[in-house]
Structure 1
Amino acid sequence: MYNLPSEDAEEPGLPDEFHDLQPQLLSRTMRLTNYSYERIFTGSDLNLYYDVRHTQWYKRPDWFLVLDVPRLYEEKDLRSSYVVWQEGVNPFVVVELLSPGTQKEDLGDYAELEPMFEETTAEELSGISAESESSNGQTLKEVPPRKWDVYERILRVPYYAVFSRYSNRLRGFKLEGGHYQEQTLDPENPRFWIPELNLGLGVWVGEFEGITRQWLRWYDSEGNWILTDTEQAVKETEQERQMKEQERQKRLKLTEKLRALTPEQLEALGINQEELES
C-alpha cells in the first residue's frame, strides 16, 4: 500500500505528508531583521503565475519567499495565488522538495537519481522543449517550461534550494551570470547561507509536530537554529522557571547564613529572630 502512487502529476495536491509539514517549519522559523512581517510573503503549494504571455501557465513551488510586498494582497485580502505581473516582485528564494519522478523538473541538468527513487525513464530525464512536435514535424502545442527553467531564466530567482527527504540531501543554487551555480555544501553539516537575508538553510535533526527526522530549517549568523513560535514560548517559560528557582535558592542560602548569626548580630542588622524562624 505504501508504494502506491500518492499523486497524479496532472492534478494539484500534495504528494505526501512531508510536503505539508516541511513548508510549515520553513515559514515558522523565518525571521528577517530588515523586513517587517507585514512586508514579506511566504507561500507553499500555491499557484505561481509567471508569464503574462501565457496567463494559464503556473508552477506550484513547495515553498517560496517574496520580499517587500504586502503580507496581504492589496493589503486587505489573503492570496489565492501569486501573479508575478500583478505583484511586480519575483520570489527571492524558492525551495523544492524532491519527489520520485520530479528530479528533472526540479533540478534541470543537475538532476541525479536519489537512492530510494525508482528508476527514471529516459523520457523523464530528457529535456522538455518549448514546443512539442508530431512525427511529421508539425507543431502540436506549446509546452510549459520546467520549474528549473522558470526559476532560472524567467523569474530569475536569486536563491534556489532543493531538499530530498529520501536522501536528506540539501542542494543550494545561486543565480550568477544568469545561470544557477551549485554552491559547495559540507555533506556532514550542509549549510546554505543567504547573505542578503542574514539567514541560512540547514539540515536539522529534531522533532517537529511530533515527527523526529531530518528537517530543513533556518539558522542565524551565529549558526543557531531559529526557533518556532512554540519553541520560543517553551524556552521563555523554562527561562522564567529557572530564574524563579535561582531566586528561591538565593533566599534559602541567605536564610541559612542569617540563622547562623547570634541574636545580637541579628538585632544589629535589624532582623527579628522570630520572623527568621517563621
Structure 2
Amino acid sequence: MYDLPSEEVGEPGLPDQFHPLQAKLLRLTFQPGNYDPEQVFSAMDLNVYYDENHTRRYKRPDWFGVVGVPRLYENRDLRLSYVVWQEGVSPSLVVELLSPSTQGQDLGQVEAEADGTPTKWEVYEQILRVPYYVVYDRMMEGFRGFELERGATAESPRYVEVEVRENRWWLEGLELGVGLWQGTYENVNRLWLRFYGSSGDWIPTPTEEERQARESAEQREEWERQARESAEQRQEEERQTRESAEQRQEEERRAREAAEERAERFRRLLMENGINPDEI
C-alpha cells in the first residue's frame, strides 16, 4: 500500500459537489447488521488495486464498502489505497454515481483497452467479483442494482440486474438495505442514496443520532414537566377536596352548635315560664 501511488499526476478530481456529499452519506450510514463496526471499511474516490501481476492497474469507485477487514490498515493506519491482494478481501458493495463522462464505464458499455486493461465493469464482475453493484443517476432520480448471478460458475460470474421496488433494495448478505431517501443532508434537500436497517428505518448519521438523542431528551423533559404539573394539579385538587370537606365539617359543626344554642334558649325560656321542658 505504501509503495503504490494513491493518485496520478493530471488525473481529474471529483466532477461536482454532489459526489463527495453523497459518498460521505453512504459512508456514515454503511452499518451491516452482521458485522462489528471495527471490521467494516468504506471509502470514496480511493484507488482499488486489483491485480498483483499488474500492480499499476487500479479502479477508483465513487464509493465502496468492505466487510471482514479492519477499519484501519493493519489496525493502525488510515489507508492510502485499497490493495486487494494484501487485504485478502474484495469489496462487498460498489456504488458509482453516474456522470456523462463515466456513464459508459459504469454501465459496462465500453470495450477493454487495447493493452488488455479490463474495464471497470469487468473488474467488478469478473476479477473482484463484487457481490453487489449500484449505479445512481441523480439527474434521473433513480438507481439500478446488480448482483452476481447465484449459481454462476467460478470461471464466468456475471451480473444480473435486480428489481428495485419502491426505490429500495435489500442486500441479504450484508443484512442491510440501500434506497433513495428524500430529505435534508448538509442543508441540501433532495433525493439521497443511503442505507436502512432490518426494521426498514434509515440508519442515522452521527449528527442525526445526536439530534434524535437531543429531541428524545427534550421530549423526556417535556413528559417529566407534564407529569410534574399533573402531580401538582392532583395535589391541588386533593388539597381543595380536603379544604371542601373541612369546610363542610365546619359548617355542619356550626349548624349543630346553632341548633343546640337555639334548643338551649328555648329550654331556658320554658323553664322561666314554669314549664318543665322534659315533660313536654
TM-score under structure 1 length normalisation:
0.78
Do the aligned residues in 1 keep the contact of 2:47 with 2:82 (CA within 8 Å)?
A: yes
1:176-191 alignment, distance < 5 Å: 176=149, 177=152, 178-186=157-165, 189-191=166-168
Q: Deviations over 1:39-75 (max 9, x none)?
A: 1110110010011121101110011111111111111
- How far apart are residue 128 of structure 1 and its match? 1.6
Structure 1: 5+ residue stretches without partners: 1-9, 110-126, 133-141, 267-278
Which amino acid is the alignment partner of residue 38 of structure 1? E
The structure 1 residue matched to 2:229, chosen from 245, 252, 259, is: 252
The answer to whether residue 83 in structure 2 is matched with residue 83 in structure 1 is: yes
**For residue 183 of structure 2, what is the aligned residue in structure 1?**
206
What is the distance in 2 between the residues matched to 1:251 and 1:200? Answer: 42
Farther-moved stretch of structure 1 (199-208 vs 26-35): 26-35
Q: Percent identity?
A: 50
Matched residue SS, 1:196: helix
Matched residue SS, 2:192: strand
**For residue 138 of structure 1, what is the aligned residue in structure 2?**
none
Do the aligned residues in 1 keep the contact of 2:112 with 2:119 (CA within 8 Å)?
A: no
What is the distance in 1 between the residues matched to 2:196 and 2:22? Answer: 15
Which amino acid is the alignment partner of residue 111 of structure 2? I
C-alpha distance 98-219 of structure 1, shift in aligned 2 (>3 A): same
Q: Deviations over 1:80-104 (max 9, x none)?
A: 0001111111001000000113222
How many correspondences in the alignment?
229
What is the distance in 2 between the residues matched to 1:234 and 1:262? Answer: 41
Q: Deviations over 1:204-258 (max 9, x none)?
A: 1111111111100001122211110100110011111111111111111221222
The structure 2 residue matched to 1:229, chosen from 206, 209, 217, is: 206
TM-score under structure 2 length normalisation:
0.78
**For residue 174 of structure 1, what is the aligned residue in structure 2?**
147
- How far apart are residue 183 of structure 1 and its match? 0.4
Q: CA RMSD in A?
A: 1.8
What is the distance in 2 between the residues matched to 1:206 and 1:15? Answer: 23
Which amino acid is the alignment partner of residue 188 of structure 2? I
Which amino acid is the alignment partner of residue 181 of structure 1? V
Q: Which has the larger radius of gyration?
A: 2
Q: Deviations over 1:108-143 (max 9, x none)?
A: 14xxxxxxxxxxxxxxxxx3235x2xxxxxxxxx14
1:143-154 alignment, distance < 5 Å: 143-154=116-127
What is the distance in 2 between the residues matched to 1:163 and 1:155? Answer: 20
What is the distance in 2 between the residues matched to 1:43 and 1:264? Answer: 68
- How far apart are residue 12 of structure 1 and its match? 3.7
Matched residue SS, 2:79: coil
Matched residue SS, 1:214: strand
What is the distance in 1 between the residues matched to 2:49 and 2:185? Answer: 31
Structure 2: 5+ residue stretches without partners: 1-9, 244-280
C-alpha distance 153-261 of structure 1, shift in aligned 2 (>3 A): same
The answer to whether residue 105 in structure 2 is matched with residue 128 in structure 1 is: no
The answer to whether residue 18 in structure 2 is matched with residue 14 in structure 1 is: no
Query: Following TM superposition, where does structure 1 have runs of at least 4 consecutive aligned residues deviating by more than 4 angstroms?
Result: 262-266
